[in-house]
Amino acid sequence: MFKNYFKITIRNLLRDRQFTLLNLIGLSTGLACTVLIYLWVSDELSVDRFNEKDSRLYAVLKTSPNADGTISMYGSTQGMLAKSMAAELPEVEYAIAVRQQDLGVISTPGKHIKAKPQFADKDFFNVFSYRVIEGNKNNALSDKYGVMLSDKLALKLFNTIRDIIGRRIEWKGGDEFDGSYTVAGVFKAPLPNATDQFDFLFSLALYSEKESGGMGDMSFWGSNMMNTYVILKKGTNADQFNKKIKDFTKEKIKTLYKDNEMWRGEGDLFLQRYSDRYLYNRYENGVQAGGRIEYVKLFSIIAIFILVIACINFMNLSTAQASKRIKEVGIKKVVGASRGSLILQYMGESMLMAFLSLLIAMTIVAIFLPVFREITGKNIGLHFNFGLMLSIAGIAILTGIIAGSYPALYLSGFKPAMVLKGKLNTVAGESWIRRGLVVFQFVISIILIVSVMVVYRQMKLIQTKNLGYNKDNIIHFSNEGKLKQNLPVFVSEIKKIPGVLLVFISGLVGIAIIYFR
């Protein structure tokens, strides 16, 4: 039976090539747009979800009261906070402090590479699931003058990631950490969809030693220079724990600095799931108020609308073709075909069209993926793993069911006697359904077109808006590395170059801007 249905389906598709081509174009275009949006949404939802203990990993954030009565939110906390939380709060399994640092130059004989460091506690690899390739993850950051290199940086420096423990590197960041260090191990570099990107790790003990008595003094509870992350023990209720730690730092400051009123300006502590920081990154007056998750929801809805429009288009075209197949339905029913078997046949045709459209759609996606990467700024790829294949196949099956349901029910509902006599009366309800589908299709299409026009005009405004200065012939230099140490000399030499009109240096943000004639 299925073999005969398949033959009939192929014959019908080939017999009316114009109808088949039109339906394939409509469905494949809709599926291609849906798949591209699905890839983007999947990438957004996967950011920072690489940790094995993701459900128990939290970032410690802090509110800060402002003079105007509003409340701001910060991710910077005291250096002593992690150590105190681990020692005094039984719900905490691990607590670490992390300090991000500016770019600098890491060197080996004959090689000088710009890299980004990070200072981290000794339990860093017990909290974050960065695979340690070389070295011991439990004590690799115990040595003050040892560094952990990412596998990508190790390859650039030594052309290998193996047997490099004990080798020396030179660091030039233009600060007190400049010097010679020993490689203590190699770890797998952060994935592209991780928000925290760094190339190698210094020991936090080194930071504590070098910053002792300075602005980053880790023994002073008034210094907020660290990011604090905790792993809660299994079974811990995060909401209850949030209530417990709310005044944790206030109480510390009150106890340690009895004659100091600085505790009054101290905010409340609270936890945010580490993997939620990217999507839920907007706070208003100290309260979580959305973030990029709103774009994820918006584009998901757009993808659904596009898919629905493609399905409605298929329904309307298939229903319009029904008049050419009414005799086929009548004869099949006369010879004993049940309505269920006819529904199965027409749903099979729809499913076949959906999967043919999917093949074309995937070709379109592969062609436009480089442009899509450039537009989104993401390294999105078609990696045909089980999850992706299952999701895309699910989209095709859902499309086939939705698109084929009404035509199958419509065609299989013809009465054989009326069909063979040529007396087909369109039921008013069926007519209204078709009209409603067309209206709905056009309404959603108009909304999407208007939305595209609004976004286009906004982007055009951004690109053509008068910024208050002429941005042509301006070169910007980041104030880092040796440039930071020799900035006056650099500026003096630049001024000697013919054609240079003005050199402007902003000490606040550390940049140099050069105007040319």
> Does the structure show a pLDDT above 70 at 370?
yes
| Bridge partners for 512 per DSSP | 477, 505
Do 371 and 397 belong together in one domain? yes
Do 82 and 227 belong together in one domain? yes
Do 43 and 61 belong together in one domain? no
Chain centroid to CA 256: 42
Per-residue model confidence (pLDDT) at position 448: 81
Do 372 and 394 belong together in one domain? yes
Decide: 512 and 504 in contact? Cβ < 8 Å.
yes
Decide: 31 and 43 in contact? Cβ < 8 Å.
no
> Does the structure show a pLDDT above 60 at 371?
yes
pLDDT 10s digits, 447-490: 888 888 888 888 788 777 777 766 777 777 776 666 767 777 88
Average pLDDT, the chain: 82
Please compute the mean of the pLDDT values over residues 223-241 and round it to a whole number: 92
Instruction: Give the pair of three-digit tokens for residue 30.
Output: 């809709």
Do 250 and 133 belong together in one domain? yes
Domain span at residue 101 reads: 54-277
Give 263's contacts (C-beta < 8 A, 6+ positions apart).
Answer: 250, 253, 254, 257
Residue 334 domain-assigned? yes
Please compute the mean of the pLDDT values over residues 175-182 and round it to a whole number: 90
Decide: 57 and 330 in contact? Cβ < 8 Å.
no
Domain end (from 250, 277, 304): 277
Domains in the chain, number: 3
Residue 283 domain-assigned? no
Domain end (from 362, 395, 425): 425
pLDDT band at 428 (very low <50, low <70, confident <90, very high): very low
Phi, psi of 63 (to 5 degrees): -85, 160
| Bridge partners for 72 per DSSP | 64
Do 212 and 269 belong together in one domain? yes
Do 417 and 493 belong together in one domain? no
Kindly provide the b/e burial profile for residues 340-368, where b requires at least 16 CB atoms within 10 angstroms of the residue's own CB: eebbbbbbbbbbbbbebbbebbbebbeee
Per-residue model confidence (pLDDT) at position 262: 58
H/E element, 456: helix 428-464
Please compute the mean of the pLDDT values over residues 283-305 and round it to a whole number: 88
pLDDT 10s digits, 315-346: 777 766 665 666 666 666 666 667 667 777 77
Domain end (from 425, 460, 482): 425
Q: Kindly report which listed range (3-7, 277-281, 433-437) carries the lowest average pLDDT score.
A: 3-7
H/E element, 97: strand 92-100
Better-scored residue on pLDDT, 441 or 243: 243
Do 100 and 179 belong together in one domain? yes
Please compute the mean of the pLDDT values over residues 417-426 and round it to a whole number: 56
pLDDT band at 139 (very low <50, low <70, confident <90, very high): confident
Angle at 294 between CA 290 and CA 297, to 5 degrees: 140
Q: What is the pTM of this model?
A: 0.81
Do 403 and 320 belong together in one domain? yes
Do 155 and 227 belong together in one domain? yes
| Helix (H/G/I), strand (E/B), else coil: 504 | strand
Q: Which of 412, 391, 395, 392 is nearest to 347 (CA)?
A: 412
Residue 226 domain-assigned? yes
Do 263 and 184 belong together in one domain? yes
Separation CA 374–CA 47 (nearest Å): 18
Write down the residue that tokens 């906004």 correspond to: 458
> Does the structure show a pLDDT above 80 at 418?
no
How far is residue 111 from each of residues 151, 170, 265, 300, measured CA to CA in Å? 16, 10, 48, 46
> Does the structure show a pLDDT above 90 at 276?
yes
**What is the Cβ-side half-sphere exposure of residue 75, based on CA atoms within 13 angstroms?**
16
Do 320 and 374 belong together in one domain? yes
Per-residue model confidence (pLDDT) at position 331: 66
pLDDT band at 221 (very low <50, low <70, confident <90, very high): confident
- 499 sits in the region (left: phi over 0; alpha: psi -120 to 50; else beta) called left
DSSP 8-state secondary structure symbol assigned to residue 190 = P
Residue 162 domain-assigned? yes
